[in-house]
Structure 1
């Protein structure tokens, strides 16, 4: 319950037009792309760093849980206000503060959309490499919270690799500055990389200095079609074992391909049971040399055909539409973004096939194979208790398989609330306790996105 006194102080900070208290109005901030629903008791829209600091101090005074969020595109439940309290939307902090081509940086507030950063950088000959499929809709604050990646992470890395510095307000309401405006800097602890991926549990980022990358001269596409998953997985390992790597390397299994075929007649051959979508970039000479090396690496006993593609736009559109289309197969998907070393992909994909058959759960696998990052989608009916029990048992074995292959439970979606029950499988108790101590230093009253990341209990 939020007291009248607390709401009065909150109104004084943000103004009446930036505060919602009607449950109907607040409902839009009760969910994210995990499709779980936890209504907040109020929603505040901050428009400045000073307001965020004042809000956090106020919430500390009244011990009100506060859940920061961008546009709610995350799939792991990281922006769900599970304990009610206050949802703090950063969507109105949407200024690009400065663009500095000479030093290859953009400074922006957390509510700026990923696509807006790309659009601002492009006229200067640059781009910001993190490119999640939700780029037109997701905010850089959300990208920072989960260290988002995307198809081009295979060459360029994830969000952590493209941020020089941050300003943030800690859980106890203190303004901190991390990092610097230069590509070299080793003064003090690296709080920038600590905050990136912390899912709003330590501090609320109010400003980010983003490192830009020159746009490639040109790009080229390659597709490779395989008779089976095993041959496709071997090709992935062969491609990534050579010096010349692609800028994007996407894998699609038969279930994913069938879904694309159902919506795009004639786009894919009927006998393709696994496929690679490959992109190379650089100078024309680099594209030719890298492309030829990749075509050679693609060759094995299961290859149907591999070829250069002049225009791969239709394929990329279909690939990026895959995730929402999965609901055509089943009303719910249990979506995981596991990662294993690339050389272990054949074992992972074979294991996923066996587990899907063992538990009789429909499964579609696709994703950023160049990083070993596979999006596993268990397709289920939430109204079928038996199927949900089988899916839960299957998921547990999927995670055990991933860890046995020296992998990790999440590559870019984060932990949030969806994966927290499994975190103890990967992180030992001593390390977990240290992380909890760090959380306490930043947020001693545990008001900032409480309950996320760590297992309950």
Structure 2
């Protein structure tokens, strides 16, 4: 769509050099890590919340869509401006406004990089728990938009569990403040946690008060190999029943281990592997590690390595870090979708995905955050092979159907965006979707905020 000339003049005056309509800027802000791309009509780079308020009000007056974006590391197409309009980058709103150790919180703008925030917090002996794989380059705003998680979520929770308050601009251009620098509240609706994970469809977040955690003194880990996924899942249940929750609890399936061996990693033949990490005080850690090791033992255990210190732990995690690069040696195309099932249903999910791989003649690799039942299902294919590409696309809906049939959900940390939008009608009944649409209408009555995302048509 062509932007109204009056809107272009108004926003150019409002934003100055933060208003871009050149092809290079529009192309650079049209995609994300989903490999989808649609060029916006313009790019806005506000510096203040007042500019965001004015921007939204102007766009509403002209019926122009707005798509907020962080660093573009999302994998579902949520930041792709499929309806044109204006891509709003928060790259210039990247200030850490306050670090308040006494209140165990930090106040930040949405463009702050997760990695930069962690560096600033380290000097205070604190950290912010969300640790997605793109932690060094993704923004806090993007983490908030998708409710990002990562391996630490098993103990510390995902983004939603680590946010105390927000300042945001609704689709009507109103500035709202929800939550604050406190951890307990029973006053009104919990709009803070409603906005987290809404993928920019309800409001544009311009400030966040984040809940921080003390950095552990020490870390240790163990690596356990099992006969099959069922044995590993039973061990997960035992591990999660311990008084001290593991800091990380990762699962790798049989195909993952085969791939790692093929690429030279030092892992034995096994049906599944668990990577378990503990953290805490130096004095308590040996007892915690011993308790987790005892829980990891049981029917189907083939072998176990213990890493009592940081250096040894890094060696154990080398295989997990080598997995993503190893996937690229199989095929250049990868569909990586995260689904969640109850921990007890992990074996059924893995077995069904293996059957799906055989039925469609594909390599499908499962790994992920076992303590949450949040597995990443990677369908590998060659994009230049039309038949193989079609098989991968045909298998994908069945992965989602499997997760839902096992009592799970469509995503644990990637979000919905475009890639899973049509499956929302399978995950939720009509009254529930109607309630979600009513919430959307209350925040964004004209539907200008990230249209076409998250909710099905």
How far the C-alpha of 1:202 sits from its partner, in A, is 0.3
Query: What is residue 453 of structure 1 aligned with on the other side?
Result: 454
Query: What is residue 297 of structure 1 aligned with on the other side?
Result: 295
Query: What is residue 93 of structure 1 aligned with on the other side?
Result: 93
Query: What is residue 27 of structure 2 aligned with on the other side?
Result: 27
More displaced 10-residue stretch of structure 1: 268-277 or 38-47 = 268-277
CA displacement, residues 341-375 of structure 1 (integer Å, 9 cap, x when unaligned): 11211221112111211222211111111111000
User: Equivalent residue of 2:27, what SS?
Assistant: helix
Whether contact under 8 Å (1:245, 1:290) holds in the other structure is no
Whether contact under 8 Å (2:253, 2:350) holds in the other structure is no
Alignment of 1:260-339 (within 5 A): 260-261=260-261, 265=264, 267-309=265-307, 310=309, 311-316=312-317, 319-320=320-321, 322-323=323-324, 325-339=326-340
How far the C-alpha of 1:49 sits from its partner, in A, is 0.3
Whether contact under 8 Å (2:257, 2:269) holds in the other structure is no
| Cα distance, 1:141–1:303 mapped onto 2, change above 3 Å | same
Distance in 2 between residues matched to 1:289 and 1:402, nearest whole Å: 36
User: Equivalent residue of 2:450, what SS?
Assistant: coil
Determine if the alignment matches structure 1 residue 74 to structure 2 residue 85.
no
Distance in 2 between residues matched to 1:194 and 1:325, nearest whole Å: 37
TM normalised by structure 1 equals: 0.95
Query: What is residue 344 of structure 1 aligned with on the other side?
Result: 345
How far the C-alpha of 1:317 sits from its partner, in A, is 5.4
Query: What is residue 415 of structure 1 aligned with on the other side?
Result: 416
Whether contact under 8 Å (2:357, 2:363) holds in the other structure is yes
Distance in 1 between residues matched to 2:325 and 2:15, nearest whole Å: 36
Distance in 1 between residues matched to 2:133 and 2:177, nearest whole Å: 30
Whether contact under 8 Å (1:170, 1:442) holds in the other structure is yes
Determine if the alignment matches structure 1 residue 246 to structure 2 residue 265.
no
User: Equivalent residue of 2:123, what SS?
Assistant: helix
How far the C-alpha of 1:331 sits from its partner, in A, is 2.3
CA displacement, residues 291-335 of structure 1 (integer Å, 9 cap, x when unaligned): 222222222343221121142224545534644553332222111
Query: What is residue 218 of structure 1 aligned with on the other side?
Result: 218
Distance in 2 between residues matched to 1:113 and 1:325, nearest whole Å: 27
Whether contact under 8 Å (2:258, 2:269) holds in the other structure is no
Query: What is residue 209 of structure 2 aligned with on the other side?
Result: 209
CA displacement, residues 165-220 of structure 1 (integer Å, 9 cap, x when unaligned): 00000011100000121111222111000000000000000000011111112111
How far the C-alpha of 1:285 sits from its partner, in A, is 4.3
How far the C-alpha of 1:63 sits from its partner, in A, is 0.9
Distance in 2 between residues matched to 1:32 and 1:252, nearest whole Å: 27
Moved beyond 6 Å, runs of 4+: none
| Cα distance, 1:97–1:344 mapped onto 2, change above 3 Å | same
Determine if the alignment matches structure 1 residue 121 to structure 2 residue 121.
yes
More displaced 10-residue stretch of structure 1: 271-280 or 131-140 = 271-280
User: Equivalent residue of 1:328, what SS?
Assistant: coil
Query: What is residue 169 of structure 2 aligned with on the other side?
Result: 169
User: Equivalent residue of 1:312, what SS?
Assistant: helix
User: Equivalent residue of 2:233, what SS?
Assistant: helix
How far the C-alpha of 1:7 sits from its partner, in A, is 1.2
Query: What is residue 387 of structure 2 aligned with on the other side?
Result: 386
Query: What is residue 190 of structure 1 aligned with on the other side?
Result: 190
> Which structure 1 segments of 5+ residues have no match?
none
Aligned-CA RMSD value:
1.7
Whether contact under 8 Å (2:40, 2:85) holds in the other structure is yes
How far the C-alpha of 1:78 sits from its partner, in A, is 0.7
CA displacement, residues 263-315 of structure 1 (integer Å, 9 cap, x when unaligned): 5x3x4234244221110011234322222222222223432211211422245
| Cα distance, 1:164–1:319 mapped onto 2, change above 3 Å | same
Query: What is residue 10 of structure 1 aligned with on the other side?
Result: 11
Whether contact under 8 Å (2:223, 2:304) holds in the other structure is yes
Query: What is residue 179 of structure 2 aligned with on the other side?
Result: 179
Distance in 1 between residues matched to 2:34 and 2:337, nearest whole Å: 11
Whether contact under 8 Å (1:230, 1:350) holds in the other structure is no
Distance in 2 between residues matched to 1:219 and 1:430, nearest whole Å: 46
CA displacement, residues 225-244 of structure 1 (integer Å, 9 cap, x when unaligned): 23433332332233223333
User: Equivalent residue of 1:205, what SS?
Assistant: strand
Whether contact under 8 Å (1:23, 1:41) holds in the other structure is no
| Cα distance, 1:30–1:323 mapped onto 2, change above 3 Å | farther
Query: What is residue 49 of structure 1 aligned with on the other side?
Result: 49
> Which structure 2 segments of 5+ residues have no match?
none
User: Equivalent residue of 1:124, what SS?
Assistant: coil
Whether contact under 8 Å (1:409, 1:426) holds in the other structure is yes
| Cα distance, 1:130–1:141 mapped onto 2, change above 3 Å | same
User: Equivalent residue of 2:380, what SS?
Assistant: strand
